Amino acid sequence: MDLFRETAPATVRTVLPHAKESFLTIVFIAGNNVTDQTYDPLSLQFDTDGWPLWAESYVPHEEGRLLQYLDEKEKEQDQSWAKRAWLFAVPLPALDDRDCFRKQIVTPFWNALMSLPGGSIFPADSAALKFPLPQPPH
């Protein structure tokens, strides 16, 4: 859960609309990618402008709502989401009740694990935060 961000941005970017909001970050790391060196906790934190601290390590999908973490091992773009490392974040106020939690967190998480890239993961009215990161060159 991201309730407070104290790290100033390392790169000058636009302050994102959710910069002052508390949000729940949902992270998935495929079992075959997990080692004692899998990730640095800083890779899951955000700066005071609302951007991931390691923004350059993420590739945006789903209009910037789903961020895929790329390291040296994980360059493949067309494999199942169940074999990748990724995250998304939802503002806490969007999680009013059990039904909202199911719609905003559980359904997208399940959709990501069960689908291949290109399928829609989030509902049309998703509250998931958008991170306007650049697409990498192909």
Q: Which of 84, 107, 104, 82 is nearest to 93 (CA)?
A: 104
Domain limits, the chain: 1-138
**Amino acid 81: pLDDT:** 86
C-alpha to C-alpha distance for 13 and 32, rounded to whole angstroms: 34
**Amino acid 110: pLDDT:** 93
Q: What is the pLDDT of residues 84-99, one digit of tens each?
A: 889 999 999 999 999 9
C-alpha to C-alpha distance for 23 and 5, rounded to whole angstroms: 11
What's the pTM value of the predicted model, to 2 decimals? 0.84
Residue with tokens 């402008």: 49
Q: What is the pLDDT of residues 52-69, one digit of tens each?
A: 888 888 999 999 999 998
